[in-house]
Amino acid sequence: MSSLLYFFSQDVNVYPASDLFLRHRLQIVEELWESVLRQECGQKMVDLLRQLRDLCSPEGQATNDQASSVFKLIEQLNINEAIRAARAFALYFQLINIIEQDYEQRQQMNRYEEGKEPGTQETLPNIAASPVSHTEEKPLNNGLGADLLTKSWQADLSGKRKGTFAALFPHLYQLNVPPQQIQRLIAQLDVQLVFTAHPTEIVRHTIRDKQRRVVKLLQQLDVVEKRVGNSGSWEATEIREQLIEEIRLWWRTDELHQFKPSVLDEVDYALHYFQEVLFETIPQLYKHLQRSLASTFPWLEPPRKNFCKFGSWVGADRDGNPSVTPEITWQTACYQRNIVLERYIQSIKRLINLLSVSLHWSDVLPDLLESLEIEQSQLSEVYDELALRYRQEPYRLKMSYVLKRLENTRDRNLALSKREIIKNDNTPIYRSGDEFLAELRLIERNLNETGLTCRELENLICQVEIFGFNLTCLDIRQESSRHSDALNEILEYLGVLKQPYDELSEEERVAWLVSELQTRRPLIPAQLPFSAKTNDVIETLRVVRSLQQEFGGDICKTYIISMCRQVSDVLEVLLLAKEAGLYDPGTAVGTIQVVPLFETVEDLQRSRSVMRQLFELPLYRALLAGGYAAIEGDRGQGTGDRKNESFCASKSTLTPNLQEVMLGYSDSNKDSGFLSSNWEIHKAQKSLQQIAENYGVNLRIFHGRGGSVGRGGGPAYEAILAQPGHSINGRIKITEQGEVLASKYSLRDLALFNLETITTAVIQASLLRTGFDDIEPWNEIMEELAVRSRTHYRALIYEEPDFIDFFHQVTPIEEISLLQISSRPARRPSGKKDLSGLRAIPWVFSWTQTRFLLPSWYGVGTALQEFLNEEPEEHLKLLRYFYIKWPFFKMVISKAEMTLAKVDLQMARRYVEELSNPQDIPRFKRLFEQIANEYYLTRDLVLKITDHQRLLDGDPVLQRSVQLRNGTIVPLGFIQVALLKRLRQSKNIPTSGVIHSRYSKGELLRGALLTINGIAAGMRNTG
Residues 745, 751 contacting (CB under 8 angstroms): yes
Helix (H, G, I), strand (E, B) or coil at 55: coil
Query: How many alpha carbons lie under 13 Å from residue 610 in its C-beta half-sphere?
Result: 23
What is the largest distance, in Å, between two alpha-carbon atoms of the chain? 93
**CA dist 35 to 25, 27, 51, 85, Å?**
15, 12, 17, 15
How many Cβ atoms are within 10 Å of 107's Cβ, its own excluded? 18
Tell me if residue 651 is catalytic. no
Q: Count Cβ atoms within 10 A of the Cβ of residue 649 and give its class: 0-12 exposed, 13-18 middle, 19 or more buried.
A: buried
Q: Which residues of 307-391 form beta strands (DSSP E)? A: 308-312
- How far is residue 132 CA from its own chain's centroid? 31
Report the alpha-carbon distance of residue 594 to residue 193 in Å, rounded: 18
Run of H or E including 64: helix 64-75
Q: Are 852 and 840 in contact (CB under 8 A)?
A: no
How many angstroms separate the Cα of 620 from the Cα of each of 515, 583, 659, 700? Answer: 12, 11, 11, 17
171, 198, 404, 792: the active-site residue: 198
Burial class of residue 143 in the structure, from the number of CB atoms within 10 Å of its CB (0-12 exposed, 13-18 middle, 19+ buried): exposed
Please provide residue 271's backbone torsions phi and psi, each rounded to the nearest 5 degrees: -75, -15
**Contact 253/206 with Cβ under 8 angstroms?**
yes
Rounded Cα gap, residues 703 and 682, in angstroms = 11
| Phi then psi dihedrals of residue 476, to 5 deg | -85, 140
95 neighbors 207 (Cβ within 8 angstroms): no
Select from 725, 711, 745, 980 the least CA-distant residue to 845.
711
- DSSP letter, residue 661: E
Q: CA nearest 669: which of 839, 830, 865? A: 839
Residue 315 region by backbone torsions, left for phi larger than 0, else alpha for psi between -120 and 50, else beta: left
Does 198 participate in catalysis according to the annotation? yes
Residue 732 phi, psi dihedral angles, 5° rounding: -155, 150
DSSP assigned state of 358: -
Exposure string over 377-403, b if 16+ CB within 10 A, otherwise e: eebeebbeebeeebeebbbbbbbbbbb
CA neighbor of 52 nearest in space, from 710, 971, 761, 1021 = 971
Long-range contacts of residues 608-614, Cβ cutoff 8 Å, at least 24 apart = 608/684, 608/687, 608/688, 608/691, 610/564, 610/565, 610/566, 610/567, 610/570, 611/659, 611/661, 611/688, 611/691, 611/692, 612/691, 613/510, 613/567, 614/567, 614/570
Q: How far apart are CA 849 and CA 856, in angstroms?
A: 13
Q: What does the DSSP assignment read for 96-153?
A: HHHHHHHHHHHHHHHHHHHSPPTT-SPPPP--TTSHHHH-SSPPP-BTB-TTTT-S-T
Q: Cα–Cα distances in Å, from 37 out to 40, 155, 248, 317, 624?
A: 5, 47, 8, 42, 62
- What is the Cα Rg of the chain in Å? 30
Among the options 670, 682, 686, 981, which is catalytic?
670
Annotated active-site positions, please? 198, 670
